[in-house]
Structure 1
Amino acid sequence: MPPYAGLEGRRIKALSEEDAAGLLAGRGMALALAAELNGYPGPMHVLEHADALGLSAAQRATAESLRSRMLDEARAIGARIVALEEELDRLFAGGMADTGRLAVLTASLGALNGRLREVHLASHIAMRDALRPEQRLAYDRLRGYASRR
């Protein structure tokens, strides 16, 4: 089967339903792998392992705050990305595509995708700063990254 066969039925051609749902939910979607796999834990996973990491009440509150702020901002950006992808799809579906409008939409999408990644990565930086070195090592072991060091 040709690689794009069946995709023409998507609501937004360039996004799977799973990708659109991930953007709207503020999920990481591997946007923070550069941080996660290089010793910068994410607040969501830190909270999942809070007891094993021996988080203090202050560290738990920091992780919860970071997670909440990241999700709020990521959801807002994700909703805008989905809306622009819908607009881009309508532009082509309606036979109204032109290079001027295309340039505006793709520049906006590029900036938003970059900002979304920044939001996810920044939460990892702040989370790392809130943990002690031994907690970061324990996190790596708990997540299966011990072989990395």
Structure 2
Amino acid sequence: MRRTLTALALLVAGPVWANTPSPYAGMTDRPIRALSAEQQADLLAGRGMGLALAAELNGWPGPAHVIELAGAMQLTPAQLAATQRLMAEMQESARSLGARVIEEERALDRAFSDRSITPADLSARTARIAVLQGEIRDVHLRTHLAQAALLNAEQIAAYSRLRGYADGTPQHGGPMPGGHRHH
């Protein structure tokens, strides 16, 4: 009986969410509805957007933070110059790919907007976007590999400490980035 009364009360009251506006309601004015202005700016600037956390949080430094911490990490002038080149190359690649993602998202948005989208077209478009997003992540992660190869074990440990990651040692038992083994 109690279940029946509860069900009846819910039915009579109606769904609470029926008159609640969608959290997406304010996004209909975006030029590309699937991307915020901030996301577009990040893509065009080649920013990491958290795409390299698998490397960063496992003891593989990234060039932007290595440049910021160059003095504390005791980088040599040659290491700093190589890191700056690495950063510039990564940003150039990521920016180019980011611009392509934006164009693909714009085309997808347009296809939905003008009602020309088909299932086959949708699959092709989303596959292209996914490949580009994967390439951007690959660029960022590969840069962490290249960065670690420029540093010695002490510098990598200092980086981890300075960034607030445990005691400065990677959280795994395998080789440290740069080919060094930790104990």
Q: Report the TM range for the smaller structure's normalisation.
A: over 0.9
After TM superposition, which residue ranges in structure 1, 4 or more long, deviate above 4 angstroms? none
The answer for the alignment partner of 2:25 in structure 1 is: 5
1:134/1:148 Cα in 2 relative to 1: closer, same or farther (>3 Å)? closer
Q: CA RMSD in A?
A: 1.2
2:44 maps to 1:31: no
**Cα deviations across residues 92-130 of structure 1 (Å, max 9, x unaligned)?**
001111112111111110110000000000000010111
> Aligned partners of 1:93, 1:148: CA distance in 2, in Å?
51
- More helix by proportion, 1 or 2? 1
The answer for the alignment partner of 2:64 in structure 1 is: 44
2:123 maps to 1:103: yes
Shift of 1:3: 2.2
> Aligned partners of 1:108, 1:97: CA distance in 2, in Å?
15
- For structure 1, the 5+ residue unaligned runs are none
**Cα deviations across residues 6-33 of structure 1 (Å, max 9, x unaligned)?**
1111111111110011001100000000
For normalisation by structure 1, the TM-score amounts to: 0.96
- For structure 2, the 5+ residue unaligned runs are 1-20, 170-183
For normalisation by structure 2, the TM-score amounts to: 0.79
Shift of 1:146: 2.3
2:110 maps to 1:84: no
Letter in 2 for 1:34: A
The answer on whether the counterparts of 2:157 and 2:168 sit within 8 Å (CA) in structure 1 is no
2:139 to 119, 122, 128: 119
